[in-house]
Chain A
Amino acid sequence: MKKSVVTLFLAISLLIPVVTNAQKVVCKIKGSDTCLPLSQRFAEIYNKNNAGSGISVVGGGSGVGIAALLSGTTDIAQSSRKMKMDEKLKLQEGGKSVKEVIIAYDALAIIVHPSNPVSQLTREQLEGIFTGKLTNWKDVGGPDLKIIVYSRETSSGTYDFIKEHVMNKKNFTASALMMAATGAVVQSVSQTKGAIGYVGLAYVEKEVKALKVSYDKGKTYVAPNVSTAMSRKYPVTRPLYYYFTNTVEAKVKPLVSFILSKDGQNIVLAEGFVPLS
C-alpha cells in the first residue's frame, strides 16, 4: 500500500511540470524577421514575469505578419514598414480599425564578407551595386572580385525600406539572390567573399563586416551602431512597428505597456536596437 502511494505521488510529481510548462498561447505575434529577436526577448521576459501569460512569436516577414493580421490569425503584426493604405482599408472593410505603436528603431546595416577591404560606401555606390550597375568590387575601390548581391524577399519590410531609402525606388538587379530570412542573408554573406547584403543592426555578427555609409556624396561616413542611430547620425534608420486591431487592444495592452516602459526599452538597447528615447 505504502509502495503504491509513493509510486502514485512520484507519477503525479512528474506530470505537474509538464502541465505547467504547456502554457496556453494567449497572444500571437507574427511578421518582421528584423523584429523577431526583439519580440522573442520581450516574450521570454514577459512570460517569465507574468504567470499564465503565453506569448508566441513567429517571423516570416512584415508582409506575412500583416496578412495574418488581416486574416485574423495573429494578434499583433510586427513590421519594419508602415502598414499600407490598402491594408488599412481591408481591415476597415472587416469592421476593424488598426492601432500602430512604434516599439523601437533599427539601423539597417550594409554587410560584406569580413575579408573584403572595402569598409565604406556612398548611397550612390550602394544604389549602383544593388541595381546591378556596379558589378565588381574594383569599381568602388576594392579588389577585382565579382559583387554578389543578397537581398530579402519582396514580402520583407526591410526590402521595401532599402528600395525606398537607399535605391531611390529602383529595382534590384535580376541577379540578386533573394533570401527567405535575415539569418540566411547573414550566413550567405559570411560564406561568400564577394557578397554584399543588408540586415537589421541586431543581426550583425563577427562573421560579417558592417560598412560605413555616406549620404552626403562621400563627405562623411558613419558606422552603424546604437549610438549613431540614436543620434540620427547614421542615415539608414527606421521605426519598428506593432500593429493590432481594436478588437484585441485590451488583450495586448499590458504587453505593449511593458515594451514601452523603461524595462522594455532597456531590452531594446540590450538586443542591439535603438530605444525610443
Chain B
Amino acid sequence: MKHLFLLGTGILSVLASNLSAQESEVSALSSAVETLQSDNDVAKRLKISGYVQAQYQVADTAGVSSMAGGNFGTGIDNRFSVRRGRVKVAYTYENALAVMQFDITEKGLGIKDAYLSLTEPWLNALTLTGGVFNRPFGYEIEYSSSSRETPERSRMFQTLFPGERDLGAKLTLQAPKTSNWNFLKLDLGLLCGNGTNVETDNYKDFVAHLTANKVSKDERLKWGIGASYYNGGFAATTNRLYTTQTVSGIKAFVPETVNKNDKLKREYVGLEGQIGYDWALGITQVKAEYLTGTQPATASSSSSLTAANVSSTSTADITTGKVTTSNVGVDAYSRTFSGYYVYLIQDILQSPFQAVVKYDVYDPNTHVAGNQIGTTPLTGIATGATDIKYATLGVGLNYRFNSNVKIMAYYDMVKNETTTNIKKASTLADLSADRKDNVFTLRVQYKF
C-alpha cells in the first residue's frame, strides 16, 4: 500500500514537472514566434528588386545611328552591352513610400528614381509624390522596360522624353480599390522639364494624365484609354528662335527675335488606348498611342532641350583672378511634330512564347515632307536631316523561361523619309534613299 502511494506520488510529480516544462516551452515558442513576426513585419517594409538586360546586337551598317539602345560606334556593326542594370529599393510604411533606383551598366552608374510618396490616410485617394520619377505622360513611359514586349520605347518617346524621368512633384488622384471609381486615375505634375539635370530656370512644366481602365465581368476582356497634356517651356539661351515658314514657296527656318530667358513653348497632347482579350489562341493585346505638339529643340536634333544643351565657359581676370562663368547658348528651333505607335502582342496558346509586332512613326516636323526637306531657301536656313520622318516596323519573339528569365529576339526595320536634297557619299548621311540601319537584338533579361 505504501509502495502504491509512493508510486502514485512519483508519477504525479513527474507529470506535473512535465506539464510545467511543456508550458514553459510553449511560452518560449510563442515569444519566439512573436519576435519573428515582428522582425518579418519590419523586413516586409523593405523591398529590393531589379533586373539585368544583357544583349547582343547586329546593325546593317557600321557606325549607324540607332534608337535601339544608342548609336553604334564608328566602324562597329555588332556589339555586346548591358542595356539596363537596375536595382530598386523601396521602403513602405503605413501611407508613405520612398524609392531609389539605380542603373548600373558598363557606361557607369546612373540615378533613375529618387522619390517619396505620401498618401492621405482618410480616403486613401490622394497621393503626393516628390523627387525624380517617371513623367506622368502617356502609357509607354510608365510601362516598365522589364515588362515591355520590345527592347526599346518608341522613337517619339525617346526623343521627347529622353530618360523618361524628371524632377518635380506630382499629385495622383485615384479612388481606393474598393471604390467603383477606382478605374479612373488622374496625375497632375509640376516638373523642371530638364530631365534628371539640376534646375536651370524658373519655368515649371505642367503635365496631366487621365486614364480609365476596365475589365469585363468574365475577366476575358480588358481595356484602357487615356489622354495626356504637357505644357511647359525652355528658357531661351540666345536671341533667336527659328520656326518653319514658307519663304518664296520654300519651307525653311526663319529666325524670330526673342529675349534671353524667354519661355520657348513646349506643348504636347497625347491619346492612348490598350485592349487585351483572352481567347483560344492565348491573350491578344493591342496597344496604341498618338502624340502631337510643339517642340523647341536645336538645328541638329529634335530631342527635348535640357541644361546639357547649354555649355558654359569660364574666364579668369589675370589681375584680380576673379573667375567669370558665362553660358554659351544654342539657337532654338521650334517644330510641330506628330507620332504614333501600335503594338500587336500575341501569347502563343498556353506556351511561354509571345510574338510581337510594333509599328512606330515619328515625324519631327510636320510642316515639311519629302523633297521639300533640305531645299535651300532665299532667306533663312534650310530644313535638314533633323526634319526627316521615320517609320519603324519591329517583329519579335519573347520566350518567358520562368518568372525571372526572359529571352527576346527582335528585329527593327527602320525606314526613313527620303529627299533628293540630302544626297551624300557616305551611306550613313545619305538621305536620298532608305538608309541601311536595321538592327537585330538578342537580349536575355533576369528579373528579381
Residues of A within 8 A of B218 (CB): 82
* Interface set, chain B 173-193, CB cutoff 8 A to A: 177-180
Given contacts A85-B219, A88-B283, A96-B352, contact A171 B178 (CB under 8 A): yes
What are the residues of chain A within 8 A of B402 when measuring CB–CB? 94-96
Interchain CA distance A94-B400 in the complex, whole Å: 6
- Closest chain A CB from B185 CB (angstroms): 15
- Which residues of A have CB within 8 Å of B215? 84-86
Residues of B close to A82: CB separation below 8 A: 218-219
Asked whether A89 lies within 8 Å of B276 as measured between CB atoms, the reply is yes
Shortest beta-carbon distance from B346 to chain A in Å? 11
> Any chain A CB within 8 A of the CB of B312?
no
| Contact between chains at A72 and B177 (CB < 8 Å) | no
Query: Do the beta carbons of B222 and A85 come within 8 Å of each other?
Result: yes
B220 touches A95 (CB 8 A): no
Q: Is B401's CB within 8 Å of the partner chain A?
A: yes
> In chain B, residues 322-367, which have Cβ atoms closer than 8 Å to a Cβ of chain A?
347, 350-352, 354
Residue of B nearest to A97 (CB): B350
**For residues 104 through 122 of chain B, which have their beta carbon under 8 Å from a beta carbon of chain A?**
none
- Interface code A15-31, partner B: CB below 8 Å = 1, 0 otherwise? 00000000000000000
Q: Which chain A positions have C-beta within 8 A of B399? A: 95
Chain B residue nearest to A154 (CB atoms) is: B178
- A230-260 vs B, Cβ < 8 Å mask (1 yes, 0 no): 0000000000000000100000000000000
**Are B400 and A86 touching (Cβ within 8 A)?**
no
The answer to whether the Cβ of B403 comes within 8 Å of any Cβ in the partner chain is: yes
Contact B403 A93 (CB under 8 A): yes
The answer on a CB contact under 8 Å between B400 and A92 is yes
User: Across the interface, do A246 and B219 meet the contact criterion of CB distance under 8 Å?
Assistant: no
Across the interface, which residues of A come within 8 angstroms of B401, CB to CB? Answer: 95
Q: Looking across the interface, which residue of chain A has its beta carbon closest to that of B349?
A: A97
Per the bound structure, the CA–CA distance linking A88 and B285 in Å amounts to 13
A169 to B283, CA, bound (A): 27
Q: Are A154 and B350 CB-contacts (below 8 A) given A85-B276, A95-B400, A95-B402?
A: no
Q: Which residues of B contact A89 (CB under 8 A)?
A: 276, 283
Complex CA distance for A89 and B354, rounded to whole angstroms:
12
Indicate if the CB atoms of B347 and A92 lie closer than 8 Å.
yes
Residues on A with beta carbons closer than 8 Å to the beta carbon of B220: 85
Evaluate contact between B180 and A171: CB separation under 8 angstroms.
yes
What's the least CB distance linking A155 to chain B, in Å?
A: 10
| Minimal beta-carbon separation of A71 from chain B (angstroms) | 8
**Nearest CB on B from A81, distance (A):** 9
Contact of B403 among A83, A94, A171, A246 (CB under 8 A): A94
Name the interface residues of B192-238: CB closer than 8 Å to any CB of A: 215, 217-222
Task: Tell whether, in the assembled complex, residue B179 and residue A92 are in contact, meaning their CB atoms are under 8 Å apart.
Answer: no
A170 lies within 8 A of chain B by Cβ: yes
C-alpha spacing A47/B189, complex, angstroms: 58
* Nearest residue, chain A, Cβ from B352: A95
Taking CB atoms, residues of chain B closer than 8 Å to A84 are 215, 219
Q: Using a CB–CB distance below 8 Å, which chain A residues touch chain B? A: 72, 82-86, 88-89, 92-97, 154, 164, 169-172, 246
User: Which 9 A-B pairs rank lowest in CB-CB distance, beginning with the nearest?
Assistant: A94-B403, A95-B400, A95-B352, A97-B350, A85-B222, A82-B219, A85-B219, A85-B215, A169-B180
- Further 7 A-B residue pairs, CB within 8 A, beyond A82-B219, A95-B352, A95-B403: A72-B403, A84-B219, A85-B219, A89-B283, A92-B400, A95-B401, A171-B178
Interface residues of B (CB under 8 A from A): 147, 177-180, 215, 217-222, 276, 278, 282-283, 347, 350-352, 354, 399-403, 406
